[in-house]
Each structure stands twice: as structure tokens, then as C-alpha cells.
Structure 1
Amino acid sequence: MSYKFKVRQPIRPKQPGFSGAQNNSASVNEVVRLVPADQIGEVSYRIKSAAFGVRGSEIAAQASRI
């Protein structure tokens, strides 16, 4: 499986509370590291504001503002 997001790309959680009480669905975070695929083949990401990695299925790209 390939990576959907890039380092320094702004992302947001798909569900509130995935990485702690301080985040909500409107919060914007940033990918800081790509984590290798786990045993089932899903890649993870280390994000700013999270103490642990999150699965790619738990985050979505943040729409850019013009």
C-alpha cells in the first residue's frame, strides 16, 4: 500500500478525539513522519499534536484555503 499523505501536509481527523481530548474534527494537524505498514498492510503517520501514530484511514486531507 502506498502513502496517501506527504510530510508537512495539513490533515484533519475524520473522527473527533482520535488523538486526544484537545483535538476535534475542526482541528488541523500536520504529517511529520511516514510510518511503515503494519501487519495488515495499512500505513500510519506520525502527526503534530499526537503522541502516537495514526492510521491513514483515521485522517483526511485538509482542504487548502486560498
Structure 2
Amino acid sequence: MSHKFKIGQRVRQARRFGSVDHGGAASSIFEVVRLMPEERSGEPSYRIKSTAGERAVLEGELTLAS
């Protein structure tokens, strides 16, 4: 499986069950900074960043920001 998103693209992270968004809409926009290896399940992963910090996420948690 290849990565759907590219470095530099702006994406949104889908809310996970039970999560709380404290930062509003702007904090849900991230930039892809690194393509990571696939997980054991075969799903690609990414490093994304925003003004709030950087994190690792699975491709299924992301959508392209418009």
C-alpha cells in the first residue's frame, strides 16, 4: 500500500471516540511532515504537526483539508 498524502499537504485529523477538541477548528489542521512505515496491519502512517505540536497518526485518521 502506498501513502495517500504527501509531505507538505494540509490535513485534518478525524476526532477519535472520547476525544475533546480544546483548540477549535484551526487546531484540527495539520501539515504532513514525514511519511512513516506501514503498521503491521499494512496501513501507512504519518508524522503531522500543527502549532500545538507534532504526532504520529494512521492514514485512516486523516482527511485532506480544503
Q: 1:23 to 1:37 in 2, by over 3 A?
A: farther
Structure 1 segments, 4+ long, off by >6 Å, are none
Q: Hey, which of these two has a bigger chunk of strand by percent?
A: 2
1:1-66 equivalent positions in 2, closer than 5 A: 1-15=1-15, 17=19, 22-23=22-23, 26=25, 27-49=28-50, 50-63=53-66
Q: 1:23 to 1:42 in 2, by over 3 A?
A: farther
Normalising by the residue count of structure 2, what TM-score does the alignment of the two structures yield?
0.75
Counterpart amino acid of residue 8 in structure 1: G
Normalising by the residue count of structure 1, what TM-score does the alignment of the two structures yield?
0.75
Task: Return the offset for 1:52.
Answer: 2.8
Question: Structure 2 unaligned runs (5+)?
Answer: none
Counterpart amino acid of residue 57 in structure 1: G
Over the residues paired in the alignment, what is the CA RMSD in angstroms?
2.2
Cα deviation, 1:41-62, whole Å, max 9, x if unaligned, reads 0110000134431000001001
Question: Structure 1 unaligned runs (5+)?
Answer: none
Q: Hey, which of these two has a bigger chunk of helix by percent?
A: 2
Identical aligned pairs, as a percentage? Answer: 42
Counterpart amino acid of residue 55 in structure 1: L
